[in-house]
Structure 1
């Protein structure tokens, strides 16, 4: 069932093609087409679904005997970040890049598919899900809500993510929370413009913005290992118009809220909203608040962790809890509401640039060991 070496050149070529043509969340039409075409041509699934929750793709491999459904999930989307690279396969799309490694994750799942095409599981079925829109937190919910996904409902879900800073050939895995809950809060403050020579005739949000930003970040406390961990990060701010003759009459602040678990998020949201209302009222400003990019926390179920741990051991991959849980969020957490689920983090190299950095590039050397790890999990679970 494991990945033969002769498959690697074709898989690396696919990864490079995906990397050259990045598409951001909700726009993954051509990425999905490339993946679906590869699966049809080289992996012969028993069923191939497209258009799941937007541009999602699912390939199904059925065993000879009845059994459970094991879902293996990856992501399709890229980031709205300009890539800084001299690689021949660098992004050809200005302002967009595969700087989180989703091109590599998708290639790993196509590698699993090519192996399953040669040897189906003994029982049950494997569903390979290529999920859209992970980066904005909307994709998993859209896939799960799609009526076409209902017949694919899994009994267990597994996933992986590359981790720069961790040695290639090592892994991190633990039960319990592994990715924080997060969501974006957009605050729009409205006053009244004035001539810059007579600012007193208007209502400026300047003092409110200057006070709100440090007050919001002061809601942070603890580290991600603490049950009460809270982190508020200001990600964007705008005040007035870019002109010297106008005292500002409007402003925006964007902040990202993080907590270790979903349970802690409601309290942090209430604190941030209450603070914004208080400051706006005191300054005589109108206030509008909207929520964006909502991620549930990602929690590894012990029974799913046991499957991955056994596969890591069988593949001779050293692993530990390492730095888990991490502050970053992950859309995979929503699958935990359907079934036991777990994500493993595989080292991408100790000196590789961090995720979302403009010079990040997924290491091709990770494709084969990651695919064999997932295939080992399939073999252990479904025979």
Structure 2
């Protein structure tokens, strides 16, 4: 990749960084992406996939497999704290997970494919919406247009603070935990604060559940038995001194390595909640948000990415422990051989979703070249 190309992709990354859009709201980003892909000579550009998703097809015109490269469009509802010249211009929103950098890498792939198609088959570049909520990949694959571009392989990456800059880690098997947000509403009956006995307060149940749910999953080794429950929010009654509460709410994140263990954890949590509510004479409502299934790398796809890293002289290490954070990329594994790799952002780099996080521009050519090398491994 030439210095001029790297500079252009870096400027593009900074442009995207300044205009983050939240999950499901990526309209302007998608329009910009589609326009750039047409300029890059894509044979076909599909828009509106699963919401604001975009796909670009680079076709050799010869029979062969299809290779997908996936990146994400969405930013986060976090105020950026930065003195960068390209800081977010939208209050309360920021590209603080690196999706702007991931897009820049995939544009680097498009640039290389412009006028230099694979020897056979086709490459499809996926710009997926709503990764942060876990809904994007599901909607993307469910879109009727996806059947026309359903690939045989899909590769993706995520930058990873805490890992040496430019170093790759690859998981064999599980690579991201399953997780979901469990919202619990405990419903009793309000009363005057002077006569709490005439109501039905959920305070005792709330107190018990905060302890019981936290103990239900305490982490440990990242194996098939791993389970972590994290209380993220709790609320009791109204902000008044005159009313004994009649309702309480708890939000808890459930996290496991496997979908099977997640099903068991859900059952355990729901039973615990139901029994506690019943003991206090309360009714209960349970709902779920931000549902992510476990993400598992296919061994064939892992081998291709490993060889691609070696071919580009990118340090690569095969690991067995998955990441605790979740990814919806695993949805693509339901119909394709998939693998995601971790690309180091630096040992002391601010963590993902920190308000002072910024994607390291030095990773743009590395990620793009690894993707291109993987494409060559499959398509020549």
Pick the TM interval, shorter chain.
over 0.9
Q: Which runs of 5+ in 2 are unaligned?
A: none
TM-score (norm 1): 0.97
1:110-138 deviation per Cα after TM superposition (whole angstroms, max 9, x unaligned): 11101111311110000000000111111
Mapped to 2, the partners of 1:364 and 1:56 lie a distance apart of: 24
For the 8 Å contact 1:64–1:121, the answer to whether it is kept is no
For the 8 Å contact 2:162–2:344, the answer to whether it is kept is yes
For the 8 Å contact 2:172–2:319, the answer to whether it is kept is no
Alignment of 1:1-383 (within 5 A): 3-41=1-39, 43-322=40-319, 324-383=321-380
For the 8 Å contact 1:224–1:327, the answer to whether it is kept is no
Deviation at 1:195, TM superposition (A): 2.1
For the 8 Å contact 1:179–1:298, the answer to whether it is kept is yes
Mapped to 1, the partners of 2:375 and 2:185 lie a distance apart of: 49
TM-score (norm 2): 0.97
Mapped to 1, the partners of 2:60 and 2:247 lie a distance apart of: 61
Deviation at 1:92, TM superposition (A): 1.5
Deviation at 1:322, TM superposition (A): 4.7
Deviation at 1:323, TM superposition (A): 7.4
For the 8 Å contact 1:80–1:96, the answer to whether it is kept is yes
SS at match of 1:118: coil
How many aligned positions are there?
A: 380
Deviation at 1:198, TM superposition (A): 2.3
Mapped to 2, the partners of 1:96 and 1:247 lie a distance apart of: 38
Deviation at 1:224, TM superposition (A): 4.9
SS at match of 1:334: helix
1:165-213 deviation per Cα after TM superposition (whole angstroms, max 9, x unaligned): 1111211002100101111111011111222232222211111111101
For the 8 Å contact 1:82–1:96, the answer to whether it is kept is yes
SS at match of 2:114: helix
Deviation at 1:222, TM superposition (A): 4.4
After superposing the two structures, state which structure 1 stretch, 116-125 or 80-89, moved more. 80-89
